[in-house]
A and B are shown apart, each in its own frame.
Chain A
Amino acid sequence: EPEVTQTPSHQVTQMGQEVILRCVPISNHLYFYWYRQILGQKVEFLVSFYNNEISEKSEIFDDQFSVERPDGSNFTLKIRSTKLEDSAMYFCASERYPGGGNEQFFGPGTRLTVL
C-alpha cells in the first residue's frame, strides 16, 4: 500500500543552523501539508501547498520557514535558522482530492532536536 515517507527520522542540529526536512508524498497526491507536534502537545498545522504554491499558513510559519516541491516527488520544509523552540516532531501529509471528508495520509514524522 502506498505511504508517505519522511527523512530523516531524527535530526539533531545546533541553534541557528538551517535544516531541511524531506517528505515523499504518495505519488498521485496533489495536496501537501506540514504539521508539527511539540512533545506532549497537540499536533498543529503549519502550511498547506498545492500547485507549487502555499495555500494557507499558520502564524507559526514565519519567515524562517519555507516549503518547496523541488522535483515533482519530494516535498521539503526548510527552517532557515533553528531556534530551541523548533524542537518538535514534524509530520508531512498528503491527499489526492480536495474535500473535508478525504483522508490526509500522514508520514511517520521527523523528530527535530535543536541544541
Chain B
Amino acid sequence: AQTVTQSQPEMSVQEAETVTLSCTYDTSESDYYLFWYKQPPSRQMILVIRQEAYKQQNATENRFSVNFQKAAKSFSLKISDSQLGDAAMYFCAYRRGGTSYDKVIFGPGTSLSVIP
C-alpha cells in the first residue's frame, strides 16, 4: 500500500524568508504523481504544485518549487519569499498514474506559520 509521511507537524518562517517542508512516500508503482496541497483556515484544499514521477526536472510554480528525489522517495516543497498568505496547512499527496481515476493519498500535513 502507498503511504505518505510528513515528519514536521509544525513549521514557522519569517516573512520574506525561505522554508522547506519535507515529505517522504512509499510505493511500488513506477507511474505516479506527487502533489502539494495548501489548506488555509478557510479549509478549501488548493493545489500548489504537482510532479510526475517520470520527469526528472523538479516542478516550479512561481515562489513554490519541489525537490523530487525519486530513489530516496522524497518530495520536499520549498517556499521562497514567504508571504503572510502562505500560512496554512500543507499536505503532501500521492496519486497512482495511468489513465484510470484513483484516489489521492494524503500525508498528515505540516502547519506553516509565517511570522511578520
Contacts and interface: CB of A to CB of B under 8 A. Distances in A.
Given A55-B101, A106-B44, A100 B32 contact: yes
B52 A101 contact: yes
Interface residues of A, number: 28
A98 to B, nearest CB: 4
Interface residues of B, number: 28
Interface in A20-63: 31, 33, 35, 41-45, 48, 50, 55-56, 58
Nearest to A89: B43
B44 A50 contact: no
Main secondary structure of the interface of A (DSSP, over half): strand
Contacts of A35: 104, 106
B99 interface: yes
Contacts of A2: none
Contacts of B107: 42
B47 interface: yes
B102 interface: yes
A41 B39 CA distance: 13
B43 A33 contact: no
A42 B109 contact: yes
Nearest to B47: A103
Interface string B76-116: 00000000000000010001111111111111110000000
Contacts of A48: 101-103
B101 A31 contact: yes
B26 interface: no
Nearest to B94: A100
A13 interface: no
Contact of A99 (B43, B99, B105, B108): B99
Interface of A: 31, 33, 35, 41-45, 48, 50, 55-56, 58, 89, 91, 93, 95, 98-101, 103-104, 106-109, 111
Given A41-B108, A48-B103, 9 more contacts: A42-B109, A44-B106, A45-B103, A99-B101, A100-B100, A106-B45, A107-B44, A108-B43, A111-B43
